[in-house]
Structure 1
Amino acid sequence: MAIFYNAASIVVCLTNPRLAVETFGLTTLEAMSGGLPVIVPTVGGIAEMVVDGINGYKTDVQELDIIQKQIRRMLDNKVLYHSLAKEALKCSEKYKSAENLSLLMKSIDNGKEQY
């Protein structure tokens, strides 16, 4: 998959929430870990990774004209693009395996203490 991300400038993941809901959005995380800004739906787990206008955009999948404007804005404005890309990469760092494993273990330990 790295070949495709390396050739891309932006990744658009627009699952229609009326048909299915993205629970996590691994594709989005992979793109962000490659420093790519993303456009995602406004609902679902996939939307939790994106801060609108900071590391990508959240958009209703039915709003094709807005999606087109967002893509054009990112590609036409180098400063904006690099800011979004930098923040996307920064956000992806939160999902590194070792860090998540540590958080999961703490969560399990905290759960044991409650019983």
Structure 2
Amino acid sequence: MPDESFSSWFACTAVANGLRPGELYRIVQAGEDRNPRDLDRYADDHLIHRLADCTGIDVDRLWRATFRRWEGLLFDHDYGDRKLAWLPPAGRVNGKRCFGQQACPMCLWGGHEPYLRQI
């Protein structure tokens, strides 16, 4: 989907291959953290390039689905070492599970395949 978030695309790709997102992450990022952080905010070069190579999707398109597309518009640069006041945390923070992405029930209900859109 053209406006789909990276984490939504990643989850759909995992399911399409009979995997849970965490399983796909551990396959692509072998040896990394077993509990991936917020993929929209913390996707790295290896993850993006590996997925682009394996799926045939353009690297730039995958990067545009992450929060990097908003650098210089909503924020100067995200170093990833502090909370962003406008962004709820996703994944785990200090051992606690965070609620992460927010979803609009009407957007998910539309009678078509649901996906999470970029902001």
TM range (shorter): under 0.3
TM-score for both structures, normalised by structure 1: 0.26
Larger Rg: 1
